[in-house]
Amino acid sequence: MSHRVFITGFGIITSIGKNAEENFQSLVKGNYGFGPLEVLETVHRNSLSACEVKFADKELYEQAGVDAKQGFTRTSVLGLISLQEAINDAGLTHEEVKTSGLVSATTTGGIREFEKFYYELMDPELQGDFVRFTDTATSGEHCERLADYVGIKKYLGTISTACSSSANALMHGAQLIKNNKLDRVICGGAEALSKFTVNGFNALMILDKDHCRPFDSSRSGLNLGEGACYLVLESEAEVNRKKRKPIAELKGYGNANDAFHQTASSPDGAGAYSAMKLALSSARLNPDEVDYVNAHGTATENNDLSEGLGMKRVFGNTIPYFSSTKPYTGHTLAAAGSVEAAYCLMAIKHQMIWPNLNYKHMMPELGIEPITTLKQKIDLKNVLSNSFGFGGNTSSLLLASV
């Protein structure tokens, strides 16, 4: 069980860019994706803004090189675009892709298409183009769609633990390698905005109509986002065989449960604390060896307090640099864990820390401050990325430079 797991490539699409380079440029320049909804058809277009990928489905199909008739949902086509980039970035051959596993995360899969054609789908006598979306209310549909397209058969899995999903996908992938089940596994998540999620979060009253403000005392909710991101994980033996320098090591991970409330985090951050502690112990690191924390930081009243208290418990009086990148991308739900893991990889590679946009006032009950301007030439050896979700799920990943 001592095998090391390396990240050898990744691909990403979010509201701040359709590939890794565009995402990186936006992070550096402080360009965010928040704005009125223009692609999703909803009555909330003028009242609720979000971080939307500003391409119509048709444009996404073109980018991915697929035909609309093939029945890719928006979630799966976002997934395919970033999956293809990840495969290219890692330089995987067709044979290597075929022997990979795919562990993908989503909360609602293709519900966007299911809701669009709901009445047609509910009439068993009707026939038409909508039939291609028959199974899209299931989370697992997108993963099979992606795997079938790129030719992965060896291991498929869909994880759905709400907003911590793709962090758990990465953790599951790492364990598949450590247990010698796979040499290589592509892990991540994909999530498109839908009426279902926009209205669900709106009904929960945790959406901020204004641009979100993580860790700020005036924070009043999250902004939703959409996107997808996949990371290629490979075993140490594979990395040595190919003599290719990996981007980073997935050195540790922790998964715990807050066991406090169906949708809210505990006021003392017990779950957040456990996840971070477990990630550190599995990486055999002390808290003072962590250089940066990419916080879950959704900007809800509840999350940021719980997470902040969890961090204080883990790190004591010397809190490492931390920031939430949610103001850039919004909360991409199941994709957030892999999106933010990718931002950590960019941080390690470019020796930069991304600013926590919109932060002005310290939370008095917390007394800690995130990084608010771009930090450069910072040597980052160990970076922690947090992802928490409904159902009490808390996960934390430890990414290390190589």
Partner 1 sequence: MGEKVEYFINGAGIISPQKTFDSNVFLTDVAQYDKNVLTCITPDFKAYINPIQMRRLSRMLRIGLSAATICLRDSKVFMPDGIVTATGYGFLDETAKFLGEVLKQNEKQLTPTYFMQSTSNALAGLVALTIKCMGYNNTFASKGYAFENALTDVMMQLNENASANFLVGAYDEAAEVQYKASMRVEHFKKECINNLSLFETPTKGSIQGEGSAFFMLTRKQSVSTWCGLLDMHVVYKPEGNELNDALKTFLSKNHIQPKDIDLIVSGASGDIDHDAILDSVIQSSLHTTFQTRFKHLSGEYCTATAFALWLGASMLKNQTVPEVVKVKKTQLPERLKNILVLNHYMGKSFTFILLTGLD
258 binds partner 1 per the rule CB under 8 A: yes
HEC string of 169-202 equals: HHHHHHHHHHCCCCCEEEEEEEECCCHHHHHHHH
274 binds partner 1 per the rule CB under 8 A: yes
Nearest C-alpha neighbor of 116 from the set 153, 71, 85: 71
160 binds partner 1 per the rule CB under 8 A: yes
Phi, psi for residue 371 in degrees, rounded to 5:
-70, 130
Pick the piece of the chain touching partner 1 (CB under 8 A) from 270-278, 321-329, 348-356, 378-386. 270-278
127 binds partner 1 per the rule CB under 8 A: yes
Q: Are 310 and 272 in contact (CB under 8 A)?
A: yes
176 binds partner 1 per the rule CB under 8 A: yes
Interface with partner 1 in residues 236-255 (CB under 8 A): 255
Among 35, 62, 68, 200, binds partner 1 (CB under 8 A): 200
Nearest C-alpha neighbor of 279 from the set 308, 237, 314: 314
Pick the piece of the chain touching partner 1 (CB under 8 A) from 62-70, 82-90, 148-156, 183-191. 148-156
Buried b (16+ CB within 10 A) or exposed e, 20-42: beebbebbeeeebbbeebebbeb
C-beta atoms surrounding 179 within 10 Å: 10
153 binds partner 1 per the rule CB under 8 A: yes
Q: How far is the CB of 332 from partner 1 (least distance, A)?
A: 16
Q: Is the dihedral of CA 191, 195, 196, 197 positive or negative?
A: positive
Pick the piece of the chain touching partner 1 (CB under 8 A) from 77-85, 115-123, 241-249, 304-312. 115-123
Which amino acid, 250? Answer: L
257 binds partner 1 per the rule CB under 8 A: yes
Nearest C-alpha neighbor of 162 from the set 402, 370, 389: 389
Q: How far is the CB of 135 from partner 1 (least distance, A)?
A: 8
Q: How far is the CB of 185 from partner 1 (least distance, A)?
A: 12
Distance between CA atoms of residues 335 and 42, nearest Å = 22
270 binds partner 1 per the rule CB under 8 A: yes
Helices (H), 179-300: 195-203, 236-242, 270-282
Interface with partner 1 in residues 80-109 (CB under 8 A): 107-108
Number of residues that bind partner 1 (CB under 8 A): 69
Residues within the interface to partner 1 (CB under 8 A) = 1, 42-44, 107-108, 111, 114-115, 118-119, 121-124, 127, 131, 134-135, 137-141, 143-144, 147-148, 153, 155-162, 168, 172, 175-176, 178-179, 181, 195-196, 199-200, 202-205, 255-263, 270-271, 274, 389-393
